[in-house]
């Protein structure tokens, strides 16, 4: 697997936009923004070609199916889904951002002086699956195991060449949320696909959160699969529920 450090990633001109589960009760998810410190200001870019339509996926008998990615993911019995809720939250964030930008344009130069810039709240990413072992707002002592699959167009990153590059900001976001890498990211084969995987842990008092994130590029999209569990075995069991079929099957 090709190694990519912060300097190389810093050549990208677009702001990195990553979805990452951040189970800090009672929050159910955190949309994080990461940008290499060495990145230069973005220059106006030509409009990027739209990525092909991505199947949002369907769930049948407790199994998530995505035809575009040839991906299936088993969802444990009794888990709750929050896919639509997270996407609605992102869409609302985008609306708030557009409204804030409109208001900012209407302000005078005097009004703008000394004001705190409004933070962007939308990433432009799409949640394909968000599943939790219990309602995220429900407090409990044990770790709320979860699966989050997200996608965004690689057109956002003109210089993105492989999943290893995309994984660098994923790692930075995990660190920002208090997760500690167990080791360097590595290649992992699941069915017909080879992905980049990174494992993390986070101490939360008497318990430990274990997170594994897998990334790949497919059909013009950067795909991230983030799994959180209370033990390494729980995470592995959830990863075992992932499967990639041959193209067209």
Q: Considering the domain boundaries, does residue 229 fall inside one?
A: yes
pLDDT of residue 18: 40
The answer to whether residue 106 sits within a structural domain is no
* Omega before residue 26 within 30° of 0, cis: yes
Give the CATH number of the domain where residue 139 resides: 3.40.1000.10
Distance (Å) of CA 28 to CA 144, 145, 239: 10, 11, 20
Is 44 a member of any domain? no
- Give percent above pLDDT 90 in the chain: 44
Q: Say what the pLDDT of residue 93 is.
A: 57
pLDDT (tens digit, 9 = 90+) per residue, 163-182?
999 888 888 888 898 999 99
d(CA 214, CA 225): 5
* Residue predicted with more confidence, 64 or 7: 64
Give the domain range for residue 198.
Answer: 6-34+57-83+124-244
CA distances from 239 to 13, 123, 137 (A): 33, 26, 24
Gap between the Cα atoms of 34 and 188, Å rounded: 24
* 182 within some domain: yes
- Does residue 198 lie within any of the structural domains? yes
Any idea which of 28-37, 89-98, 198-207 has the lowest mean pLDDT?
28-37
- At 198 the pLDDT is 94
In a domain, 51, yes or no: no
- The continuous run of DSSP H or E covering 95 comes out as helix 83-106
62 in any annotated domain: yes
The pTM for the full model equals: 0.71
Q: Per the structure, how many domains does the chain have?
A: 1
């Amino acid at each position: 697997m090709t190694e990519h450090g912060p300097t190389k990633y810093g050549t990208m001109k677009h702001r990195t936009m990553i979805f990452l589960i951040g189970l800090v009760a009672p929050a159910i998810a955190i949309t994080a923004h990461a940008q290499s410190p060495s990145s230069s200001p973005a220059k106006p870019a030509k409009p990027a070609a739209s990525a092909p339509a991505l199947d949002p996926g369907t769930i049948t008998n407790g199994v998530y199916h995505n035809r575009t990615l040839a991906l299936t993911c088993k969802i444990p019995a009794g888990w709750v889904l929050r896919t639509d809720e997270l996407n609605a939250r992102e869409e609302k964030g985008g609306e708030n951002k557009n409204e804030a930008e409109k208001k900012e344009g209407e302000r005078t130069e005097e009004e703008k002086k000394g004001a705190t810039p409004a933070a962007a709240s939308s990433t432009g990413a799409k949640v394909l699956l968000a599943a939790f072992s219990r309602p995220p707002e429900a407090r409990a002592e044990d770790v709320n195991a979860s699966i989050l699959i997200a996608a965004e167009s690689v057109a956002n990153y003109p210089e993105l060449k492989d999943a290893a590059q995309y994984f660098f900001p994923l790692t930075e976001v995990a660190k920002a949320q208090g997760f500690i890498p167990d080791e360097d990211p590595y290649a992992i084969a699941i069915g017909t696909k080879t992905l980049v995987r990174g494992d993390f842990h986070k101490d939360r008092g008497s318990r430990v959160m274990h997170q594994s994130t897998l990334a790949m590029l497919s059909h013009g999209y950067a795909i991230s699969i983030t799994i959180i569990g209370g033990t390494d075995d729980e995470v592995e069991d959830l990863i075992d529920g992932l499967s990639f079929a041959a193209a067209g099957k």
